[in-house]
Amino acid sequence: MHDTIIIKIGGGEGINLDHILDEFAELVRSGQRAILVHGGSHETNLIAERLGQPPRFITSPSGHTSRRTDRATLDIFNMVYCGKINKSIVEHLRAHNADAVGLSGIDAGIWRGTRKDAIRSVEDGLTTIIRDDLSGRVEDVNVVFLKLLLDTGHTPVLTPPAITHDGIAINVDADRAAAATAAALGAAELLLLSNVPGVLRDHTDPASLITSISADNLETARDAAKGRMKNKVLAAEEALTAGVPRVIIGSANGDHPIAAARNGAGTHFEGALA
């Protein structure tokens, strides 16, 4: 499976999705075994607002932010990630002759994991414990099912949520789910493409891009990462640790963002960590 690449396209604002999908379809048509993973956070916020259920976020004591996911939020999450975005991506890819199959981590138990049983939330200096949040992390990937699809010429298009071993849907971070997928499949490359050019030394200055990070100086990346970039760096680290030889955090925009990232743009993580 060292010929498989996993490309995750972020769900943030300002990504020209159609454009990068054209390039992805071309790659698939050229014979590349590939899995696309996508997010949908920005669109989910917009739809949640329109439905009169504005998104809420939890800030952990360490400053990490995540979406508060109760059952009503999960329904909206499913609508946008699995419905609107996933199906429009599959439609676009099929119109460009890629045999795409859109699935969530729930389907066939592709992404199985555990639900967090308690989340610390800091608000106005007060820390509370939230116990009913439907979020967690991917621990197992159904490699047999994904190989079945890849071996028969299909291109899986994957999106959260994942599912617990008991069968409860959980919101998981799509970057880390993509990393878990790359790790489980023994993929050759993991690309995390979004609306930022890569890991920045100073997150307010796009010119401060860190172009290359070796396995032994991951702390640099960890220290530099702010906000959503924290999860991407963590995802990169998880994939490298599991033996994925090449991880790139780069931009989903530009003329040929996938080729650009593979040819040196963005932040390249190289070398197994094991």
Q: Does 19 bind a copy of itself (CB under 8 A)?
A: no
Residue 87 engages a copy of itself in binding (rule: CB under 8 A) = yes
Note whether 99 binds a copy of itself by CB under 8 A. Answer: yes
Contacting a copy of itself (CB under 8 A), which of 6, 28, 34, 103? 103
Site for a copy of itself contains 139 (CB under 8 A):
no
Among residues 106, 185, 200, 239, the one that binds a copy of itself under rule CB under 8 A: 106
- 1 scored as a contact of a copy of itself (CB under 8 A): no
- Please give the Cα distance from 183 to 94 (Å, whole number): 27
188 binds a copy of itself (CB under 8 A): no
Which of 163, 225, 252, 258 is the binder for a copy of itself (CB under 8 A)? 163
Single residue of 78, 121, 171, 267 touching a copy of itself by CB under 8 A: 78
Of the residues 26, 42, 59, 108, which one makes contact with a copy of itself according to CB under 8 A: 108
Least separation, in Å, of the C-beta of 82 and a copy of itself?
Answer: 4
Q: How far is the CB of 30 from a copy of itself (least distance, A)?
A: 18
Question: Does 75 help bind a copy of itself (rule: CB under 8 A)?
Answer: yes
Name the segment binding a copy of itself (CB under 8 A); options: 55-63, 88-96, 254-262, 263-271: 88-96
Separation of alpha carbons 63 and 2, rounded Å? 36
Residues that bind a copy of itself (CB under 8 A): 47, 50-52, 75, 78-84, 86-88, 90-92, 94-96, 99-104, 106-109, 145, 148, 152, 154, 161, 163, 166-169
